[in-house]
Structure 1
Amino acid sequence: MKPLTRRETLAGAAALALAAGPAGAAADDGAATGTVYGVEGGARAPLPNVLVTNGREVARTDGQGRYRLPLSGDGIVSVIKPSGYALPCNADNVVQHSVVHQPGGTPKDLRMRYRGLDPTGPLPASIDFTLTKVEEPEDFDVLLFTDPQPESRLELNHVRDTAVARAMTIPAAFGITTGDVLFDDLSLYGRSNAIVGRIGVPWYNLPGNHDLNFQAPDARHSRETWKRVFGAPSYAFQHGRALFVMLDNVVWLGPAVDVVGGKYEGRIGETNLAFLRNLLAQVPADTLLVLGTHIPLHTDTAPNEPFNNTIDRAALLEVVEGRKVLAICGHTHTTEHHYLAERLHHHVLTAVSGSWWSGPDTRTGIPSADSRDGTPNGFHVLSVRGTDYTTRFVPAQGEPDAVMRIAFESQLRGGMPEVLRTMRPMEALRPPVSQDALAATTLVVNVFDGGPKTRLAYRLGSGAPVPMERTRRLDPFVVELFARYPETKKGWVQATPSTHIWTARLPDDLPPGAHRVTVEGTDEYGRPIRSAAVLEVTRSV
């Protein structure tokens, strides 16, 4: 990070005021103190100008590497990794960014199904952090996972043998999972971390709704297991010229509460908003902000549901106003791009588990897991170049560079019973189209990572390109897939309208024969995309 300007330094004064106090003061009942050290060339020395937080206030270490923060009762102290330094990782490459202070541990009367925190005892006189000096280019790639969500040990095998196996071949500086690391069975964290850790890069994790302790009566103790395994649910770190801020926006309302079908809601909350506000006061305005949540700020899938959207989104947008922001999330098992402000790009990431590991088994014994909007299960790679960025989708199965699926709708039957009885394999659904059916044939293209800025056209043979129209609708392929194999999907899984489908009506006077259909255009970042298919036309009977 480049040094703060005078104006930016003054803007941060208010945030530092709450952390004021004599550097090096001993810890007391209302404050945490400590030292941040840097290791370079084997030498360890205090590290000045490093940000440290209690999850709300943000302090900057002084010339002796010391900080002081308010901390009364239970709390967490996290160091915000500066650019050019590395945090320690455990044996499974889980980044160690925080120290939990919970003197009494998890209350025993909560009777948690999964183990929470052991008592940490009195507040230490000094909570210290050690960072290691490293080469850290401003150009780097990040692996972005969301919703691996294995419900069982078998489904954890699927995570291992699809997304993890493919990610191991992609060079990256680090990885992030934006929630639903597991599907309620929190006893699997150890094995899950061991598997993902073999990718071989530092891994940051953000909790989702399926990472909650459901026995907790309210939000206060809903992250007891998470804190034991991963540390702070909300935290931040710097890398290159980017600031990554991970905010837990899943608010547990308790098992006795039901909000339109959910016992939680999407909310940043006053504490997280204060943390973000105080943090940004210490960071230059031209820094790229990568904001991670689990629940979307906004989703096309269910735009009015409080458990699928962030209900205090407006307050968040006000805090980040004017900054360049990429906001990433998961949760809905769809792929979406939204532009919520002039400089705020919101990307709902493809789920590693796709349709919650639903669908027919492939030859490998792994479910097809196509998402309910038609995107194959997979993940994304974020490429940061200074303060610019792009993302790209990586299917976890099949062709690693697949970007779209081309379908001719009249070849699909929408799960009609008479077809299901006689034609089980999906391959049987690609018959030629007769000339008299051309008028009812729509070219349907699912650009798996497409959005409002994607442009698409098709051409027949060497003909002129014909623009295609972005259409919010069901993907006919996934509709057919779910109808043909109902016994292979989770009970709640059904096709949902997709935001990344383009359609066009084909000419109704095509002559009999085989026709090349080429689909080409540009994606959300202006990069060229292209694919092709063969349409066979037969004479009318």
Structure 2
Amino acid sequence: MPPLTRRETLAGTIAGAAVLTLAAGHASAQSGEATGTVYALDGAGRAPLPGVLVSNGQEVARTDAQGRYRLPMPGDGAVFVIKPPGYALPCDADNVVRHSFIHQPEGTPKDLGLRYRGVDPTGPLPSAIDFILTKQDEPEDFDVLLFTDPQPESRHELDHVRDTAVNRAMAIPAAFGITTGDVLFDDLSLYGRSNAIVGRIGIPWYSLPGNHDLNMQAPDARYSRETWKRVFGVPSFAFRHGKALFVMLDNVVWLGPPVATGANTYEGRIGERNLAFLRNLLGQVPSDTLIVLATHIPLHTDSATGSKQNETADRAALLEIVKGRKVLAICGHTHTTEHHYLTEDLHHHVLTAVSGSWWSGPETRTGIPSADSRDGTPNGFHVLSVRGTAYTTRYVPAQGEPDGTMRIAFESQIRTGATEIVRATRPMEGLRSPIPQDALADGIAVVNVFDGGPKTRLTIRVGGRDPEPMIRTRRPDPFVTELFARYPEAKKPWVQAIPSSHIWTARLPADLAPGAHRISVEGSDEYGRPIRSAAVLEVTRGG
């Protein structure tokens, strides 16, 4: 085991080594090839690590018996190591995982006029780009914190990220965390503080960029991730943990600066290079491996079907590559919570946004906006539980009660036939007011199962009556509709209630006597786990 060189010692001690080391000298410009060695650290030094996957973002190489790899590098590019099971990548002081080397000899072109600093010149291609891993105990059963769209637009909104999702996540044991994009809301100067806050959760954290993590002065996609690369490394990468392979693919393609209307010009597309990387990577991984595929923009969404900015244009090509594999595809972007089953083996989960409705809504008693999402889900995050090659997810609200699963509301119907929320003078009283007995014939119970989907089943029981099935109904949540209507000044201009994919409805019995009645809702979630809640419905005499 050769000792660490002086340069390696300067880069970091054995306990906190840098992710890579660069050998003196540089490769021939004509060679167009990146080479190096992957090492494993132990108490005495380092040893070459064979059989480790390394990629340039398209081709995938496996280290030989001496831990060496070779990959094409004809010009600007990057090399990253794909962490194998049982080993750890180094993290910086804020637990940002360091997995890649950016090769950009001249750095980010100065004449682009980017608002935020990009990549500093890296100089000629080194003669060796070495990666250093540390052996660790890695159970096949583990949990992962899943964030998406924290999206603070200001330092004040970054306070909200800290005081809601981050504080709650600190109490949940997990092996590592992932953010699937929109780490920030356009102001990329906040990355340092954001990483410091999330880093205090105390676990390695992997991040994927979103459409608000772009360098928006870039003329096209080529230089649209310059700040991201400087702060986080390559925007698309992969790593293994236990029996799972996590593949992080940047599917936001920047088409150029905002047009005259001020709209961001981007589209959801994985792209040929990322598709080739995925194809080559899966060729090196056993077929029974659980694939967790992360993107920012959904492969498919119920909230904006057919939108080039909200769905992935080359989804069909991706589905063909992963065909026959067990895949959980996670994403964010739409600030909704959705479950889709795109094939028999591919479960697509649109995650709840940490920022909910972009930090909109009236302030709570903590001074933080209520931030309920457009589909009625309170802002929050998810926990992925992997057990070998099996998995489940669960939703965690970032504010309020930590075990909230659903909301029960009662809606009435005026005699003209137009559905409306019962209005009252005090905020949100309409959703809790007693219902006149003569309005029961038009009364509807509306249940929002915050993380519900096509496999969720619900029944409703009124008092001691027999339970009745509830009907999954695509429609807006009456609670959040009323909330946004009552507090228009407290929301971002574009925020409005939209049809939700996780609403269940049932008509109330028309013959309920005046008085208080228990309404019990029970069922099972997307994974067959029992869920239940209850509410009191008051009926008053009509007239």
Q: TM-score, normalised by structure 1?
A: 0.93
Residues 491, 121 of structure 1: CA spacing in aligned structure 2 closer, same or farther, 3 A cutoff? Answer: same
Question: What is residue 541 of structure 2 aligned with on the other side?
Answer: 539
Which residue does the alignment assign to 1:20? none
1:34 deviates by 0.4
Match of 2:207?
205
For 1:178, the equivalent position in structure 2 comes to 180
Determine helix, strand or coil for the equivalent of 1:341. coil
Q: Distance in 1 between matches of 2:263 and 2:154?
A: 24
2:27 corresponding residue in structure 1: 27
Check 1:200–1:478 CA distance in 2 against 1; reply closer, same or farther (3 A cut): same
1:499 aligns with 2:496: no
Q: Distance in 1 between matches of 2:135 and 2:464?
A: 57
- Measure the CA separation in 2 of the matches of 1:256 and 1:306: 16
Q: What does residue 76 of structure 1 align with? A: 78
Aligned pairs for 1:246-395 (under 5 A) are 246-255=248-257, 262-395=264-397
SS of alignment partner, residue 394 of structure 1: strand
Structure 1 residue 428: Cα displacement: 5.8
| 1:121 is the counterpart of 2:131 | no
Kindly indicate whether residue 108 of structure 2 is the aligned counterpart of residue 106 of structure 1.
yes
**Structure 2 counterpart of 1:285, one-letter code:** S
- SS of the residue corresponding to residue 100 of structure 1 reads strand
1:81 maps to a residue whose letter is K
Paired residue for 2:484? 482
TM-aligned CA deviation for residue 464 of structure 1: 1.6
Partner of 1:241: 243
The one-letter code sitting in structure 2 at the alignment partner of 1:449 is D
Q: Structure 1: any 5+ residue segments left out of the alignment?
A: 1-24
Q: Which residue of 2 aligns with 1:21?
A: none
Q: Distance in 1 between matches of 2:515 and 2:42?
A: 69
What is the CA–CA distance in structure 1 between the aligned matches of 2:260 and 2:275, rounded to whole Å?
25
State percent identity of aligned pairs.
Answer: 79
The 4+ residue runs of structure 1 with deviation greater than 3 A are 25-28, 256-262, 411-416
Deviation by residue 1:432-471 (Cα, 9 ceiling, x = unmatched): 1111010111000000000000000011123221000000
Change (3 A) 1:511 1:437: same
Amino acid paired to 1:463: R
Residue 360 of structure 1 aligns to which amino acid in structure 2?
P
Q: Which amino acid aligns with 1:140?
A: F
Distance 2:260 2:330 in 1: 27
What is the identity, as a one-letter code, of the residue corresponding to 2:87? Answer: Y
User: Is it true that 1:400 corresponds to 2:402 in the alignment?
Assistant: yes
Kindly indicate whether the alpha-carbon contact (under 8 Å) linking 2:409 and 2:432 is maintained by their aligned counterparts in 1. no
Q: Report the Cα offset of residue 429 of structure 1.
A: 4.4
In structure 1, how many angstroms separate the alpha carbons of the residues matched to 2:442 and 2:43? 70
Decide whether the 8 Å contact of 1:55 with 1:234 is kept in 2: yes
d(CA) in 2 for partners of 1:212, 1:26: 31
Counterpart position of 1:137? 139
Kindly state the Cα deviation for residue 256 of structure 1 after the two structures are TM-superposed: 5.4
Q: Which amino acid aligns with 1:142?
A: V
- Measured against aligned partners, the alpha-carbon deviations of 1:461-491 in whole angstroms (never above 9, x if no partner) come to 2322100000000101000000000000000
- Does the residue aligned with 1:128 lie in a helix, a strand or coil? strand
Distance 1:343 1:295, change over 3 A: same
Letter aligned with residue 318 of structure 2: L
The answer to whether the Cα contact below 8 Å between 1:458 and 1:465 also exists between their aligned partners in 2 is yes
- 1:95 aligns with 97
Are the equivalent residues in 2 in contact too, given 1:372–1:493 (CA < 8 A)?
yes
Choose from 138, 154, 157 the match for 2:156: 154
Q: Cα offset for 1:410? A: 2.1
User: Which letter does structure 2 place at the counterpart of 1:489?
Assistant: K
Residue number in structure 1 paired with 2:68 = 66
Verify the 8 A CA contact 2:26 2:124 in the aligned structure 1.
no
Superimposed CA distance per residue, residues 390-417 of structure 1 (whole angstroms, 9 cap, x where no aligned partner) = 000000000100000000012999578x
In the other structure, the counterpart of 2:530 is 528
Structure 1 residue 43 displacement after superposition: 3.5
**Structure 2 unaligned regions, length at least 5:** 1-24
Q: What amino acid does structure 1 have at the position aligned with 2:253?
A: V
**Would you say how many aligned residue pairs link Structure 1 and Structure 2?**
513
Q: Is the 8 A contact 2:157 2:359 kept in 1?
A: yes
**Match of residue 217 from structure 1:** 219
Matches within 5 A, 1:9-28: 27-28=27-28
* C-alpha distance in structure 1 between counterparts of 2:260 and 2:395, whole Å: 35
What displacement does 1:262 show? 4.2
1:343, 1:280 → 2: CA distance?
A: 15
> Secondary structure of the equivalent of 1:384?
strand
CA shift at 1:28, angstroms? 3.3
Residue aligning to 2:514: 512
Q: Within 2, Cα distance between the matches of 1:275 and 1:259?
A: 36
Secondary structure of the residue that 2:256 maps to in structure 1?
coil
The whole-number CA distance in structure 2 between the counterparts of 1:284 and 1:328 is 21
**1:338 Cα deviation from its structure 2 partner:** 0.3
Q: Aligned to 2:339, what secondary structure does the other structure show?
A: strand
Q: CA RMSD in A?
A: 1.7
Which stretch shows the higher mean deviation, 252-261 or 219-228?
252-261
- Aligned twin of 1:10: none
User: How big is the shift at 1:425?
Assistant: 2.0
Structure 1 residues 80 and 167, CA gap change in structure 2 (3 angstroms):
same
Shift of 1:40: 2.8
Asked if the contact 1:374–1:477 (Cα under 8 Å) also holds between the matched residues in 2, the reply is yes
Aligned amino acid, residue 359 of structure 2: W
Partners in 1 of 2:209 and 2:376 — Cα distance?
25
Contact 1:414 1:479 in 2 (8 A): no
Matched residues in 1 for 2:159 and 2:408: separation?
A: 30
Relative to structure 1, the CA distance from residue 415 to residue 104 in structure 2 (aligned partners, 3 Å threshold; closer, same or farther) is farther
CA–CA distance in 1 between the matches of 2:540 and 2:264? 51
CA 1:428–1:315 in 2, change beyond 3 Å: closer, same or farther? closer
What is the rounded CA distance, in whole Å, between the counterparts of 1:309 and 1:426 in structure 2? 34
Counterparts of 1:165 and 1:63, CA distance in 2: 45
- Once the two structures are TM-superposed, the CA of residue 261 in structure 1 deviates from its matched residue by 5.2
Report the AA paired with residue 323 of structure 2: E
Change (3 A) 1:411 1:528: farther
